[in-house]
């Protein structure tokens, strides 16, 4: 029995503390999803070519990755709740700014700010979720990430309809009002946590011990296949599996729906079986799914492979983040900043390299080969025991 399970007390599923951090995950995912349908108009307004748009989106990734280590230091010094509230308010006007910008140089600055505030909110809300886990002595990280995924789905779906109905500016206003409402609902119940005592006295630096970096590598290897599915699944189905363009999104839809559903179930599974066993199961399922995506002889089996991969990938990152926030002798913010920086580079940077490789080999061997990364995650699963340190 895990530490969480052994010391937990009967309690309501959705407490005020848990609701608050879940709402902020929902808001962050909603804003991220709301950005996707704005991209075509953004490119047209600034007269960006495909390559120029790719570079513009890369500035978002650069801003995100650069901000994560800084956020870890801020959390160690000031606590996750204080940082989370500050960056959530800073993140709120970003969709409006992106909608109003008319020059490329200014757009570059705004994209960097968009990426950095999104990432800072991401690290700090994961840090606050770790604090809630410690206070309530139970897992909540998987369901928090489920709320992020749900927010992304709502933001992308609602965004397209609103842009078609009332235009990009009207969409930005409504999305900002929704985001502000979610922040307001969460505000007073965000779990307070004290700054790290050692952080007040000592100069903070990146950890020199291998453990947080190994968990960061585990997060990186977990997220690279996720990025490959997000960015390339539709093209793979259309060009290599000869699926009609109207149905080419079914692979990602199957993946995303399976991942979101399993994240809502993931906390109870982890509390019942422990983080190590849960991670091993997830890694094994993902390996099966990725192999099916690359090697299955028929399209229905490929779609099933995307769904199985979604089941597997669903709880790998939440477990890695919980482990990073509970490492012995290390401030939670520092451990999380290392893990999030390495992990999110798997989504923000790796897919471009995957596209280059697939141009020469095709996507089928790439997806099958990505299964090897989750074999490594399976081997590193004993490190997930730190996620059960309530």
Q: Model-level pTM greater than 0.85?
A: no
User: Is residue 41 domain-shared with residue 60, that is, in the same domain?
Assistant: yes
What is the per-residue pLDDT across 75-102, written as a single tens digit (0 to 9) for each?
888 888 999 999 999 999 999 999 999 9
HSE value, Cβ hemisphere, 13 Å, CA-based, for 234: 11
Q: Is the pLDDT of residue 3 over 70?
A: no
pLDDT band at 204 (very low <50, low <70, confident <90, very high): low
What is the per-residue pLDDT across 172-191, written as a single tens digit (0 to 9) for each?
999 999 999 999 999 999 99
Contact 306, 251 (CB under 8 A): yes
Q: Examine residue 2 and state whether it is found in any structural domain, yes or no.
A: no
Q: Is the pLDDT of residue 124 over 90?
A: yes
Q: Examine residue 4 and state whether it is found in any structural domain, yes or no.
A: no
What are the φ/ψ torsions at residue 227 (nearest 5 degrees)? -65, -40
143 closest CA partner among 260, 2, 10: 260
* Count of domains forming the chain: 2
Q: Which residue has the tokens 């453990």?
A: 211
User: Is residue 177 domain-shared with residue 237, that is, in the same domain?
Assistant: no
Task: Name the average pLDDT for the chain.
Answer: 86
pLDDT at residue 365, rounded to an integer: 95
Q: Examine residue 129 and state whether it is found in any structural domain, yes or no.
A: yes
Residue ending a domain, choose from 203, 233, 248 = 203
User: Is residue 116 domain-shared with residue 230, that is, in the same domain?
Assistant: no
What is the per-residue pLDDT across 351-379, written as a single tens digit (0 to 9) for each?
778 877 888 888 899 999 999 999 999 99
CATH number for the domain spanning 34: value is: 1.20.1250.20
User: Is residue 219 domain-shared with residue 296, that is, in the same domain?
Assistant: yes
Q: Please classify residue 346 by burial: count the beta carbons closer than 10 Å to its beta carbon, then call 0-12 exposed, 13-18 middle and 19+ buried.
A: buried
325 closest CA partner among 338, 335, 315: 335
User: Is residue 296 domain-shared with residue 387, that is, in the same domain?
Assistant: yes
pLDDT at residue 50, rounded to an integer: 67
What is the per-residue pLDDT across 271-329, written as a single tens digit (0 to 9) for each?
899 999 999 999 999 999 999 999 999 999 999 999 999 999 999 999 999 998 888 87
User: Is residue 199 domain-shared with residue 210, that is, in the same domain?
Assistant: no
Q: Examine residue 1 and state whether it is found in any structural domain, yes or no.
A: no
Q: What is the mean predicted confidence (pLDDT) over 41-47?
A: 89
User: Is residue 38 domain-shared with residue 137, that is, in the same domain?
Assistant: yes
Give me the domain span that covers residue 112: 10-203
Q: Examine residue 373 and state whether it is found in any structural domain, yes or no.
A: yes
């Amino acid at each position: 029995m895990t530490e969480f399970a052994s010391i937990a007390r009967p309690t309501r599923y959705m407490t005020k503390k848990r609701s608050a951090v879940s709402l902020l995950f929902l808001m962050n995912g909603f804003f991220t999803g709301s950005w996707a349908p704005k991209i075509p108009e953004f490119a047209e307004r600034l007269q960006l070519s495909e390559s120029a748009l790719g570079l513009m989106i890369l500035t978002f990734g650069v801003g995100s990755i650069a901000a994560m280590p800084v956020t870890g230091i801020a959390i160690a010094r000031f606590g996750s709740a204080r940082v989370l509230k500050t960056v959530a308010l800073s993140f709120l006007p970003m969709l409006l700014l992106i909608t109003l910008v008319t020059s490329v140089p200014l757009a570059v600055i705004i994209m960097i700010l968009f990426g950095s505030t999104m990432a800072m909110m991401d690290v700090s809300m994961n840090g606050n979720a770790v604090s809630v886990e410690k206070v309530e002595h139970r897992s909540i990280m998987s369901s928090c990430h489920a709320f992020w995924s749900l927010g992304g789905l709502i933001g992308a779906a609602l965004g397209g309809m609103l842009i078609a109905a009332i235009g990009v500016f009207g969409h930005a206003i409504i999305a900002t009002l929704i985001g502000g409402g979610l922040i307001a609902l969460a505000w007073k119940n965000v779990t307070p946590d004290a700054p790290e005592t050692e952080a007040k006295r000592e100069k903070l630096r990146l950890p020199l011990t291998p453990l947080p970096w190994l968990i960061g590598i585990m997060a990186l290897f977990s997220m690279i296949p996720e990025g490959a599915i997000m960015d390339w699944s539709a093209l793979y189905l259309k060009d290599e599996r000869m699926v009609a363009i109207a149905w080419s999104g079914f692979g990602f839809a199957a993946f995303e729906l399976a991942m979101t559903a399993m994240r809502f179930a993931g906390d109870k599974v982890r509390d019942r079986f422990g983080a190590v066993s849960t991670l091993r199961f997830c890694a094994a399922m993902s390996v099966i799914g990725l192999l099916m995506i690359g090697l299955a002889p028929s399209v229905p089996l490929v779609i099933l492979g995307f769904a199985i991969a979604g089941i597997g990938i669903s709880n790998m990152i939440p477990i890695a983040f919980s482990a990073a926030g509970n490492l012995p002798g290390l401030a939670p913010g520092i451990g999380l900043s290392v893990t999030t920086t390495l992990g999110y580079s798997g989504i923000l940077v790796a897919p471009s390299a995957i596209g280059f490789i697939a141009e020469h080999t095709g996507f089928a061997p790439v997806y099958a080969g990505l299964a090897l990364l989750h074999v490594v995650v399976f081997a590193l699963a004993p490190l997930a025991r730190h996620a059960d340190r309530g």
